[in-house]
Amino acid sequence: MTSREEHQTLREMLGSLALGHLTAAEADRVQAHLDGCAECRAELAEVASVVPLLDRVDPVTFASPASPPADLGARIRAAVAAEPPRTDDLAHRRTSRHARPGRTRSRLVVAAAAVLVVGVGIGGVVGRATAPPEPAAAPGPYEPITLEEVGDVDLVVDEAGLVPHTWGVELAMDGAGFTEGAVYRAKFRDEQGRLQPAGRFLGTGAAEMSCSLQSGVLREDVQEVVVVDEQGRTVLRSAL
Protein backbone atom coordinates (compact mmCIF):
# COMPACT_ATOMS: atom_id res chain seq x y z
CA MET A 1 0.00 0.00 0.00
CA THR A 2 1.43 3.40 -0.90
CA SER A 3 1.58 6.05 1.76
CA ARG A 4 -1.14 7.92 -0.13
CA GLU A 5 -3.50 4.94 -0.03
CA GLU A 6 -2.61 4.39 3.59
CA HIS A 7 -3.41 8.05 4.22
CA GLN A 8 -6.84 7.76 2.55
CA THR A 9 -7.70 4.57 4.42
CA LEU A 10 -6.53 5.71 7.84
CA ARG A 11 -8.11 9.11 7.46
CA GLU A 12 -11.52 7.45 7.50
CA MET A 13 -10.63 5.83 10.81
CA LEU A 14 -9.85 9.10 12.59
CA GLY A 15 -13.45 9.52 13.74
CA SER A 16 -13.47 6.04 15.25
CA LEU A 17 -10.14 6.73 16.92
CA ALA A 18 -11.48 9.93 18.50
CA LEU A 19 -14.52 8.02 19.77
CA GLY A 20 -12.36 5.19 21.11
CA HIS A 21 -13.95 2.65 18.81
CA LEU A 22 -10.77 1.13 17.35
CA THR A 23 -9.06 -2.05 18.43
CA ALA A 24 -5.63 -1.63 19.95
CA ALA A 25 -4.02 -2.89 16.72
CA GLU A 26 -6.02 -0.45 14.57
CA ALA A 27 -5.29 2.42 16.93
CA ASP A 28 -1.56 1.61 16.78
CA ARG A 29 -1.63 1.63 13.01
CA VAL A 30 -3.42 4.97 12.89
CA GLN A 31 -1.07 6.38 15.51
CA ALA A 32 1.96 5.31 13.48
CA HIS A 33 0.56 7.12 10.44
CA LEU A 34 -0.30 10.21 12.50
CA ASP A 35 3.33 10.53 13.54
CA GLY A 36 4.28 11.13 9.94
CA CYS A 37 1.22 12.94 8.60
CA ALA A 38 0.51 16.50 9.65
CA GLU A 39 -2.66 16.55 7.53
CA CYS A 40 -4.20 13.70 9.50
CA ARG A 41 -3.04 15.17 12.82
CA ALA A 42 -4.87 18.38 11.98
CA GLU A 43 -7.96 16.46 10.96
CA LEU A 44 -7.89 14.42 14.17
CA ALA A 45 -7.63 17.60 16.25
CA GLU A 46 -10.71 18.91 14.47
CA VAL A 47 -12.64 15.68 14.91
CA ALA A 48 -11.61 15.39 18.56
CA SER A 49 -12.85 18.90 19.27
CA VAL A 50 -16.36 17.81 18.24
CA VAL A 51 -16.46 14.64 20.34
CA PRO A 52 -17.33 16.34 23.67
CA LEU A 53 -20.28 17.99 21.93
CA LEU A 54 -21.64 14.60 20.89
CA ASP A 55 -22.07 13.66 24.55
CA ARG A 56 -24.47 16.55 24.93
CA VAL A 57 -26.65 15.60 21.97
CA ASP A 58 -30.08 14.49 23.10
CA PRO A 59 -31.01 11.29 21.22
CA VAL A 60 -34.69 12.21 21.54
CA THR A 61 -34.21 15.05 19.10
CA PHE A 62 -33.37 12.47 16.45
CA ALA A 63 -36.77 10.76 16.79
CA SER A 64 -38.14 12.83 13.93
CA PRO A 65 -35.19 13.53 11.68
CA ALA A 66 -35.12 17.06 10.39
CA SER A 67 -35.41 17.32 6.62
CA PRO A 68 -32.54 19.15 4.93
CA PRO A 69 -33.13 22.78 4.03
CA ALA A 70 -34.69 23.19 0.60
CA ASP A 71 -31.72 25.15 -0.73
CA LEU A 72 -29.09 22.66 0.47
CA GLY A 73 -28.42 21.32 -3.02
CA ALA A 74 -27.99 24.79 -4.45
CA ARG A 75 -25.65 25.76 -1.61
CA ILE A 76 -23.49 22.70 -2.13
CA ARG A 77 -23.28 23.36 -5.86
CA ALA A 78 -22.36 27.00 -5.18
CA ALA A 79 -19.68 25.93 -2.72
CA VAL A 80 -18.27 23.41 -5.18
CA ALA A 81 -18.28 26.00 -7.97
CA ALA A 82 -16.44 28.45 -5.73
CA GLU A 83 -13.76 25.94 -4.89
CA PRO A 84 -10.71 26.15 -7.13
CA PRO A 85 -10.54 22.99 -9.25
CA ARG A 86 -7.51 20.76 -8.92
CA THR A 87 -5.15 21.14 -11.78
CA ASP A 88 -2.43 18.70 -12.64
CA ASP A 89 1.15 19.40 -11.63
CA LEU A 90 2.04 20.19 -15.18
CA ALA A 91 -0.42 23.07 -15.27
CA HIS A 92 0.98 24.22 -11.96
CA ARG A 93 4.53 24.06 -13.18
CA ARG A 94 3.78 25.87 -16.37
CA THR A 95 1.72 28.53 -14.70
CA SER A 96 4.30 29.19 -12.05
CA ARG A 97 7.11 29.33 -14.58
CA HIS A 98 5.24 31.76 -16.77
CA ALA A 99 3.52 34.37 -14.70
CA ARG A 100 1.69 36.40 -17.30
CA PRO A 101 0.85 39.95 -16.46
CA GLY A 102 -2.71 40.82 -17.37
CA ARG A 103 -3.93 37.25 -17.17
CA THR A 104 -5.18 36.33 -13.78
CA ARG A 105 -4.55 32.93 -12.34
CA SER A 106 -8.21 32.40 -11.51
CA ARG A 107 -9.25 33.04 -15.08
CA LEU A 108 -6.83 30.44 -16.30
CA VAL A 109 -7.99 27.93 -13.73
CA VAL A 110 -11.66 28.45 -14.53
CA ALA A 111 -10.93 28.02 -18.20
CA ALA A 112 -9.01 24.85 -17.44
CA ALA A 113 -12.03 23.49 -15.64
CA ALA A 114 -14.19 24.28 -18.65
CA VAL A 115 -11.99 22.34 -21.00
CA LEU A 116 -13.14 18.84 -21.74
CA VAL A 117 -10.17 16.59 -22.11
CA VAL A 118 -11.00 13.09 -23.19
CA GLY A 119 -8.60 10.47 -24.41
CA VAL A 120 -10.20 9.11 -27.58
CA GLY A 121 -9.13 6.77 -30.28
CA ILE A 122 -6.99 3.73 -29.88
CA GLY A 123 -3.86 5.66 -29.06
CA GLY A 124 -5.36 7.63 -26.22
CA VAL A 125 -7.33 4.78 -24.72
CA VAL A 126 -4.53 2.26 -24.93
CA GLY A 127 -2.14 4.81 -23.51
CA ARG A 128 -4.36 5.42 -20.53
CA ALA A 129 -5.37 1.83 -19.95
CA THR A 130 -1.88 0.43 -19.96
CA ALA A 131 -0.16 3.34 -18.27
CA PRO A 132 1.71 2.18 -15.21
CA PRO A 133 1.34 4.60 -12.32
CA GLU A 134 4.21 7.04 -12.51
CA PRO A 135 5.44 8.97 -9.50
CA ALA A 136 3.98 12.45 -9.80
CA ALA A 137 7.38 13.91 -9.06
CA ALA A 138 9.00 12.36 -12.11
CA PRO A 139 7.42 13.66 -15.32
CA GLY A 140 9.69 13.72 -18.33
CA PRO A 141 11.35 16.91 -19.44
CA TYR A 142 8.99 19.49 -20.85
CA GLU A 143 9.75 20.21 -24.51
CA PRO A 144 8.29 23.49 -25.76
CA ILE A 145 6.97 23.37 -29.32
CA THR A 146 5.62 26.00 -31.68
CA LEU A 147 2.13 25.46 -33.08
CA GLU A 148 1.52 27.52 -36.19
CA GLU A 149 -1.88 28.52 -37.48
CA VAL A 150 -2.94 26.91 -40.72
CA GLY A 151 -5.35 28.66 -43.09
CA ASP A 152 -7.78 31.38 -42.15
CA VAL A 153 -8.00 30.95 -38.39
CA ASP A 154 -7.53 33.36 -35.53
CA LEU A 155 -6.12 31.30 -32.71
CA VAL A 156 -3.78 32.26 -29.92
CA VAL A 157 -1.42 29.63 -28.59
CA ASP A 158 0.37 31.09 -25.61
CA GLU A 159 2.34 27.99 -24.95
CA ALA A 160 2.54 24.41 -26.13
CA GLY A 161 4.83 21.59 -25.28
CA LEU A 162 5.31 17.86 -25.17
CA VAL A 163 5.97 15.73 -22.13
CA PRO A 164 7.29 12.24 -22.85
CA HIS A 165 6.06 9.39 -20.68
CA THR A 166 6.84 5.69 -20.66
CA TRP A 167 3.35 5.02 -22.05
CA GLY A 168 3.29 7.72 -24.73
CA VAL A 169 3.39 11.45 -24.99
CA GLU A 170 1.36 14.31 -23.61
CA LEU A 171 0.62 17.56 -25.41
CA ALA A 172 0.09 20.52 -23.09
CA MET A 173 -1.35 23.67 -24.55
CA ASP A 174 -2.53 27.07 -23.32
CA GLY A 175 -4.44 29.17 -25.77
CA ALA A 176 -7.58 31.03 -26.76
CA GLY A 177 -9.72 31.80 -29.79
CA PHE A 178 -11.00 28.25 -30.34
CA THR A 179 -14.68 28.48 -31.24
CA GLU A 180 -16.70 28.16 -28.05
CA GLY A 181 -18.27 24.74 -27.69
CA ALA A 182 -16.62 23.35 -30.81
CA VAL A 183 -14.73 20.08 -30.54
CA TYR A 184 -11.10 20.14 -31.63
CA ARG A 185 -8.91 17.09 -31.95
CA ALA A 186 -5.19 16.80 -31.50
CA LYS A 187 -3.26 14.22 -33.51
CA PHE A 188 0.30 13.06 -33.73
CA ARG A 189 1.80 12.00 -37.03
CA ASP A 190 3.88 8.90 -36.42
CA GLU A 191 6.95 7.77 -38.31
CA GLN A 192 4.79 5.83 -40.76
CA GLY A 193 2.99 9.07 -41.61
CA ARG A 194 -0.25 8.00 -39.92
CA LEU A 195 -2.20 10.47 -37.81
CA GLN A 196 -2.77 9.02 -34.36
CA PRO A 197 -5.50 10.49 -32.17
CA ALA A 198 -4.32 12.33 -29.08
CA GLY A 199 -7.62 13.34 -27.53
CA ARG A 200 -9.96 16.25 -28.00
CA PHE A 201 -10.96 19.45 -26.28
CA LEU A 202 -13.75 21.99 -26.38
CA GLY A 203 -13.10 25.51 -27.57
CA THR A 204 -13.71 28.25 -25.01
CA GLY A 205 -13.99 31.27 -27.30
CA ALA A 206 -12.05 34.29 -26.06
CA ALA A 207 -11.52 32.75 -22.62
CA GLU A 208 -8.11 31.26 -22.14
CA MET A 209 -7.97 27.52 -21.81
CA SER A 210 -5.34 25.10 -20.68
CA CYS A 211 -5.47 21.52 -21.81
CA SER A 212 -3.50 18.32 -21.62
CA LEU A 213 -3.90 15.74 -24.37
CA GLN A 214 -2.48 12.27 -24.31
CA SER A 215 -1.58 9.59 -26.79
CA GLY A 216 -0.04 6.14 -26.71
CA VAL A 217 2.42 7.18 -29.43
CA LEU A 218 5.93 7.44 -28.03
CA ARG A 219 7.68 10.78 -28.24
CA GLU A 220 10.44 9.49 -30.48
CA ASP A 221 7.82 8.35 -33.01
CA VAL A 222 6.02 11.70 -33.19
CA GLN A 223 6.94 13.56 -36.36
CA GLU A 224 4.30 16.26 -36.31
CA VAL A 225 1.57 17.64 -34.06
CA VAL A 226 -1.68 18.81 -35.64
CA VAL A 227 -4.96 20.15 -34.28
CA VAL A 228 -8.05 19.78 -36.45
CA ASP A 229 -11.44 21.45 -36.11
CA GLU A 230 -14.89 19.83 -36.19
CA GLN A 231 -14.81 19.70 -39.98
CA GLY A 232 -11.48 17.92 -39.91
CA ARG A 233 -9.58 20.93 -41.21
CA THR A 234 -6.11 21.37 -39.79
CA VAL A 235 -5.95 24.60 -37.80
CA LEU A 236 -2.62 24.19 -36.03
CA ARG A 237 0.52 22.38 -37.04
CA SER A 238 3.96 21.90 -35.67
CA ALA A 239 6.71 20.10 -37.49
CA LEU A 240 9.16 18.69 -35.00
Residue span binding Zn ion (CB under 5 A) among the ranges 7-15, 69-77, 135-143, 170-178: 7-15
Binding status of residue 13 toward Zn ion by CB under 5 A: no
Cα–Cα distances in angstroms (integers) from residue 140 to residues 135, 169, 219, in the given order: 11, 9, 11
List the Cα angle 67/69/75 in 5-degree steps.
140
Q: Side chain identity at 8, as an amino acid letter?
A: Q
Q: Which stretch binds Zn ion (CB under 5 A): 36-44, 49-57, 67-75, 144-152?
A: 36-44
Task: Provide the minimum distance between the beta carbon of 33 and Zn ion in the complex, in angstroms, as a whole number.
Answer: 6
Closest to Zn ion by CB, 40 or 211: 40
Helix intervals (H) in the chain = 3-11, 14-18, 24-36, 38-55, 72-82, 89-97, 105-114, 121-130
First-last CA distance in the chain: 41
> Is 37 among the residues that bind Zn ion (CB under 5 A)?
yes
Q: Counting beta carbons within 10 angstroms of the beta carbon of residue 125, is it exposed (0 to 12), middle (13 to 18) or buried (19 or more)?
A: middle
CB of 18 to Zn ion, least distance (A): 15
For 125, the 3-state DSSP assignment is helix
User: Contact between 7 and Zn ion (CB under 5 A)?
Assistant: yes
Query: Looking at beta carbons only, is 40 or 213 nearer to Zn ion?
Result: 40
Instruction: Answer whether 162's CB lies under 8 Å from 145's CB.
Output: yes
Distance CA 15, CA 4 (A): 19
Q: Which of residues 221-240 bind Zn ion (CB under 5 A)?
A: none
Interface with Zn ion (CB under 5 A), residue from 18, 40, 155, 235: 40
CA torsion, points 217, 222, 228, 231, in degrees to nearest 10?
Answer: -70
- Contact range with Zn ion by CB under 5 A, out of 1-9, 78-86, 127-135, 191-199: 1-9
Window of 15-23, 38-46, 110-118, 216-224 that interacts with Zn ion by CB under 5 A: 38-46
Indicate the residue among 37 and 162 with the shorter CB distance to Zn ion: 37
In the bound complex, what is the minimum distance in angstroms from residue 15's beta carbon to Zn ion? 14
Q: What is the crossing angle of helices 24-36 and 38-55, to 10°?
A: 130
CB of 148 to Zn ion, least distance (A): 47
Total number of residues that touch Zn ion (CB under 5 A)? 3
Residue 45 CB, nearest distance to Zn ion (Å)? 13
Residues making contact with Zn ion (CB under 5 A) = 7, 37, 40
